[in-house]
Structure 1
Amino acid sequence: MGVHRIWHHGLVPTEGKRPLDALRSRLISRQRQHDDYSVTDLGSSDDGGSRRCDLEFAYGDGEGRYSVQVFLSLCYRAGEDRVTWLLAAACTRPWRSCHVAPAHRIGLEELGASGHDEIPIETPVLAMRGWSREECDHLADLLGEALVAPWRTSAVLVLAEPPTVPVSGWPGLVNVFDVDDRFRRTLNRNLPLGCAVPAGARLYPPPCDQLPDFVETASPVSGEALEGAITQLIQARGRTPLPEEWAEVASVRAWYAADPFVAPDRGPDAELTGKLGRAERELAEARRVITILRKKAKAHAEERDRHACEVKALRGRLEDVSATDVVCLRKQLAQLQEEVDDYARAFEETEAERDELRRVNGLLAGRLARHHDADDEVAAAGRPPEEFPSFAELIAAATASLKHLAITADPAPAAILDHHPKAAAWRRKAWDALRTLDAYAGARTSSLGAGQDPGPELSDVLAFARTGQPGSLISANIIALAESDTVTTNERLRQARTFRVAPRTNPAGRDYFGAHIALERFKAPAPRLHFLDDTDRTGTVYVGYLGAHLPTSKTN
């Protein structure tokens, strides 16, 4: 891949107090708008009374056939009204007239730039037809002077006849003038012999390129021939040295001498070198850690395999033991279950015997207290039987015979208990509990009615039963004078234990029954008898509930 160079230079009118900054800003802003090429600000420098800034552009043809690098150097000298510029470009393929001119691609003509001959580069073809004589004379004089000037560095193509193919020149390097015959004759009067414009077309290369003029006299003028001549001119520019005033600029000279498509050699980056060193050290440390972890993993794997073998051996032994002992264990379990059932039956029988003994003890204590009382036998004969076929009959008998009790309990919950296998035992215990409450209420009411202090043994039902007072037929262990704090402080559970009372006890007609007697302490449905001791005010003990255990925080 070769490097094919061109250059051209010219002038740009100044803008504001900082013309270089303004021009640089406009060029960079244009790149952001078009985004089909890149621009790099290479910085600026001060040299005595002048200030320079350099920009570098890069673009391609869009199809990857060639690439272009452009170097633009701007120079402003204090006090002048124009900025001088030099554009140097390099292409990976030979330049052709069909290529987009670098000055046009980067937008240099949009800044109002002109060539070194002060001909604007923004107009591809300057039409000079139908002008007045004065205009023709004036412009022909200026153009004639420029064509013979030795300092001219851009080519001029004068068309006296339209070509077969439109020719637009090359901004910054080839300017095109389309003239009529009157202007052509006027221009020829200002040109030396041998330089006249023929009836066809003439291309005037700049003296610095040392090329002969291209003259086309055929009619019509061949556009292809003109394009070929322009291509030859563009390619010849690469062999032309830089202008003397720009060749001494270090940045221009260095860029033009180097290959812009080769990345410059760069020394080692200290920061990157440091990062690389740290990365290598971290990698070495990571490898060391990985080695240690691999050793540990290997040791763990060996230990795991050893444990697996031990587990396998233990499972084998367990299977062997299970095969021989399961039948034996099942037999032992069945025997133990039978023993548990026997103990349960024995416990129930013991409880029944205990309750019977307490009942007999209470009766004996009552009879002893009423010794020599002739009415005792009559009263005993009038008592209801102690076996009831249902809880309804039990409640009816208690209501009729136990005068110190006010039974407000709903019979429905108690009736459900009749279907349980232990219903008969519960009815006996309930009857004993009711008689105990009645005996307690009678004893306490009598003491209070006589103006006597009931004493600690009559302070409550629990003390009455614990001290074995006459008429106490139940164990103190099944009496609870209050519920737990969990039940008492829970409004829902408290409402479940609120039952009817007489208005003289509570004007609201309902009260909280926290005290209760357990007819069955542990096994469901664990029947309970809830009562309210109101002997101090009315001489009555209320029975508000008889049935299965009421809900608690654990059961509901």
Structure 2
Amino acid sequence: MRSRLITRQRQRGDYTLTDLGSSDDGGSRRADLKFAWTGGEGRYSVQVLLSLCYHAGEDRVTWLLAAACTRPWRSCHEAPAHRIGLEELGASGNDEIPIEAPVLAMRGWSREECDRVAELLGEALMASWRTSAVLLLTEPPTVPVEGWPGLVNVFDVDDRFRRTLNQHLPLGCVVPLGARLYAAPCDQLPDFVETGGPVSGEALEGAITRLIQTRGRTPLPEEWADVPSVRAFYDGDPFASPKREPDAELAAKLGRAQRELAEARGVLTILRKKVKIATAERDRQAGEVKVLRDRLAELTAVDVGCLRAQLARLQEEADDYARAFEETEAERDELRRVNGLLAGTLVRCHGADDEVAAAERPPAEFPSFAELIASATATLTRLAITAEPAPAAILDHHPKAAAWRRKAWDALRTLDAYACARTSLLDAGQDPGPELSDVLAFARTGQPGSLISANIIALAESDTVTTNERLRQARTFRVDPRTNPAGRDYFGAHIALERFKSPAPRLHFLDDTDGTGTVYIGYLGAHLPTSKTN
């Protein structure tokens, strides 16, 4: 423990360490270490004495940590045991309660775990020799509360564990619904009890602060009362400059030699452990290599021709499923188109025969995207098509071009129906309502004239595209100066004519029904570049 504390200080370097020496008397060993640091930009100083003692025949090292500070301790200040890393070494108090800075959660345990731990904790709470305080929380506090390593251990328990623990405690020591701080008997402080919830975090901080400040006036335990180094620290001024010894240079050399020897022993121990770990890892890897070789031999024996035949059959099945999926999508789009026409018929309540007949007819077929755009420009009066024809013309050579033209025609008609419905209400001075708040709401609520699914409509691009100037410029197209005096605007909203497979064509639009009463069509073509494309 002594060598590991020295090694940790050299790695950290944010506090000083003085080795006060060690002794060996008939199998019993003692070592004293002194730590010091300043905090708050030099506003206060801390001196800590750690005395370690090992008695022959015992299975642990006993220790005492004494600390002094030029200001009063409070629970919000850093605990000395945490600063020097004592809890990292697995240290425990003389009552065997572990030193841990975080809260130990004990919620949701099984009945057997509750009974076993509750009996041990109940015995520790009633022990007259206990030197660590225990805080039990059954209700969450208003502010986070953590333990103070070496002094206060915090347990977060549920109601079942509380009832189980109370079975092992006298009536006056039971845990209430709320919080209870069991002060160590040596501190001569009453226990802190708060009922109800949530528990006041300020009250808990105050109780822990009083416990810390009282600990500075607590007498030494009997087993440490006659230790010269500990008694000198308690009785003297820890911040007084040490007296210069006549042989200071020799003492410094001796101390340096002892530290180097201790460090060398620690390094030797670490190297031995590393060799042991490396040997175990080598044996483990050798076993894994043997298993992999056996597995490779098994795989090599498999008929490669059989696997290829299986792969070919699976590919054929995948192609069949793809064709069936495309046919299902086409049927779905046709049903949505008919549904939109029928919805318009029901709303208008006249000319039903003509509308039903129109719904039963197949959608308009266009031999090319150019003719589709020309027809939309001539018939869909609420659309302003500024898209360049070249990107759409490239799609005419794709095997799925006919399906894309049908979906594009339905999308354009849906946008025109939305613009007509919204502008008619706005011109009449009426509120369009949530169903006509945007194109997505128009399609999602199945308004008359909606011929496409809401799932293929996106009102904006991702943040990656929107914040990237290059990608944003690729989605900026021509508009009327009444919409934007610059004559160009950003078209983030789009409709997916093909959601996944390349070229995944898109129709980008800009909704200006609140201004000019128009929906602009700025682009129709293959998917525009993203951050994942070159």
Q: What's the TM-score bracket when you normalise by the shorter of the two chains?
A: 0.3 to 0.5
TM-score norm. by structure 1 comes to 0.44
**Structure number, greater radius of gyration:** 1
